[in-house]
Chains A and B, each alone.
Chain A
Amino acid sequence: MKFKDYYKILGVSKNASDAEIKKAYRKLARKYHPDVNPNDKEAEKKFKEINEANEVLGNPENRKKYDKYGEHWKHAEEYEKAQQHQKQYQHAGGQQYYSGGFTDDDFSDFFSSMFGGGFSGGGFSGGGRNVKFRGQDFHAELQLNLSDVFKTQKHTINVNGKKIRLTIPAGVENGQEIKIKGYGGEGVNGGPKGDLYIKFNIINDTPFKRDKNNLYLNVDLDLYKAVLGGDIMINTMDGKVKLKVKPETQNGTKVKLRGKGFPVYKQKGVFGDLYVTYNVKIPTNLTEKEKALFKELAKLRK
């Protein structure tokens, strides 16, 4: 557990007045509030940190305790215990304050160890975590392989201990987010449940490159087939197909295989195209005979 310098977090000096602390806190809160920093985990982390700092420095009793023990906070608990026995302490450590919607996860171990994990709610509502009617939204990320999302599939995910069966339509994009209505937190006072948002991180485990519904593939082609033409077998997402190579095919030639690309999201039976680019391979380690024959060919072209 690391010592937290709350003064540093709020950017104020150790002898800052209450007004200065409040001002610094409000300024930072405007900067890092989750409602003005959508999908920014770093800002959310900062916001929690400044809330924690304000909880300590903005409360005279907490600030006094924090200043008293400083970096020797580890001994604070033992000291407090001793004091508690002597004084018949009225307030138990870790009393349940109005929580402001914060969970224990929102506080550092340092804070919980020193102040018992409670929260006075003197500051903000925590940027939407404070459930007053509508339940809170949950956000989850699901990692899938590109080969998995070629077909519609069912997944069971675990969100806050609850199993949710999902049907993921084929063709979902990397970074796409879907909303599952009513699968968020419970509402209060008869309010609706929040929603569950799932973001897909798609890892490409195939030799294809994807651009929306189209796929791209580079295929090596030996010189002789490029010159004379012939058939080659190539892999598509849907199995092997035979391709007819035209005689005198140039390096970098692109051919389109209609409908052999990726499925279009939520359009059953509709697929993008597959673009195959030929990469003509020049033979290496030629034998003397091969060299002689190439020289002969070269003479014919002079």
Chain B
Amino acid sequence: MSTKDIISIHQFCSLYDVPDTFVDELSNFELIELIDYENEKYIYKHRIKDLERIVHLRFDLNINPEGIDVISHLLERINQMQEEINKLKNRLALYE
């Protein structure tokens, strides 16, 4: 693992102006995966996008971690369904 690929929770929280405890809270709900490295907690940079979305849900829309968990599952389902719709639309073109 290269430190280039990770960002410390402390740095993330300070950049996004959210309390450090917020990330622990998310970790308890298994909403994000934390990495222990040299006595500090990190997340992968490629997961920042997911974490950004969670920050918006938590602090813009005042949704609690349980709600974020539910929304995350539903969004995943929406993505799968959108893919399915696209496949079906392409298949439907066969009969048009």
Residues of A that sit less than 8 Å from B by CB:
26, 29-30, 33, 35-36, 38-39, 124-125, 127-128, 132-134, 137, 173-175, 189, 191-192, 204, 209-212, 216
Contacts and interface: CB of A to CB of B under 8 A. Distances in A.
Given A30-B63, A124-B61, 9 more contacts: A29-B61, A35-B57, A39-B82, A125-B60, A175-B86, A189-B15, A211-B91, A211-B94, A216-B94
Contacts of B10: none
Contacts of A174: 86, 89-90, 93
Q: How big is the B interface, by class?
A: 20 to 34
B73 interface: no
A175 B71 CA distance: 25
16 contacts: A33-B60, A33-B61, A35-B56, A35-B57, A36-B57, A38-B75, A124-B56, A124-B61, A133-B16, A134-B49, A174-B89, A175-B86, A175-B89, A204-B93, A209-B94, A211-B94
Given A38-B75, A134-B48, A128 B56 contact: yes
A192 B56 contact: no
Contacts, number: 69
Contacts of A216: 94
Given A35-B56, A210-B90, A210-B93, A192 B48 contact: yes
B42 interface: no
A30 B17 CA distance: 21
Q: Is the interface of A mostly helix, strand, loop or mixed?
A: loop
Interface of B: 7, 12, 15-17, 45, 48-49, 52-53, 56-57, 60-63, 71, 75, 78-79, 82, 86, 89-91, 93-94
B61 A209 contact: no
A210 B75 CA distance: 30
B86 A132 contact: no
B52 A33 contact: no
Nearest to A133: B15
